[in-house]
Amino acid sequence: MNALISVVIPCFNDGQYLPETISKLKQQTIQPFEIIIVNDGSTDTNTITILDELAKDELIQILHKENGRMSAARNFGVKHAKGNLIAALDADDYFDNRFFEKSIAVMQAEPSTAVVTSYIKLFGEQTGTSKPRGGNAFNFLFSNQCPACAMVRKAVWDQVGGYDETMKLGYEDWEFYIRITNLGFEVNVIPEYLLHYRQTQKSTLKNFTHPNRAAIIEYIVEKHKDWYAACLVKLIDQKQVVYTESRIAYPTIWKMLKNRLLGKYK
Asked if 148 contacts 88 with a C-beta cutoff of 8 angstroms, the reply is yes
Chain segment 92-151, per-residue pLDDT in tens = 999 999 999 999 999 999 999 999 999 999 998 889 999 999 999 989 988 899 999 999
Identify residue 198 by its one-letter amino acid code. R
Residue 187 has pLDDT above 80, yes or no: yes
Residues 6+ apart with CB under 8 A from 137: 178, 181, 182, 227, 231
Neighbours of 33 (CB within 10 A): 17
Give start and end residues of each alpha helix (H) in the chain.
18-25, 45-54, 69-79, 99-109, 154-160, 172-182, 204, 213-223, 225-238, 250-261
Question: Which candidate, 29, 50, 30, 1, places its Cα nearest to that of 9?
Answer: 50
Q: How confident is the model at residue 264 (pLDDT cuts 50, 70, 90)?
A: low
pLDDT at residue 262 tops 60: no
pLDDT classification of 241: cutoffs 50, 70, 90: very low
Tell me which long-range contacts 127-131 makes (C-beta under 8 A, separation of at least 24): 127/199, 129/193, 130/197, 131/189, 131/191
The predicted pLDDT at position 249 comes to 54
pLDDT (average), residues 21-45: 96
Closest to 136 measured CA to CA, from 178, 195, 170:
178
List of residues 6+ apart from 109 with CB closer than 8 A: none
Non-local (6+) Cβ contacts of 100 within 8 A are: 5, 28, 29, 30, 31, 32, 87, 151
What is the 8-class DSSP label of residue 200?
-
> What number is the average pLDDT over the span 70-93?
97
Q: Give dist(CA 26, CA 18) in Å, integer.
A: 12
Half-sphere exposure of 13 (CA within 13 A, CB side): 7
Supply the mean pLDDT for the chain: 89
Pairing of strands 34-40, 5-11: parallel
Least confident of 38-42, 54-58, 100-104, 207-211: 207-211
What pLDDT does 261 receive? 54
Architecture of the domain delimited by 5-201: Alpha-Beta Complex (3.90)
**pLDDT tens for each residue of 192-216:** 999 999 987 766 666 667 788 888 9
Confidence of residue 258 (pLDDT cuts 50, 70, 90): low
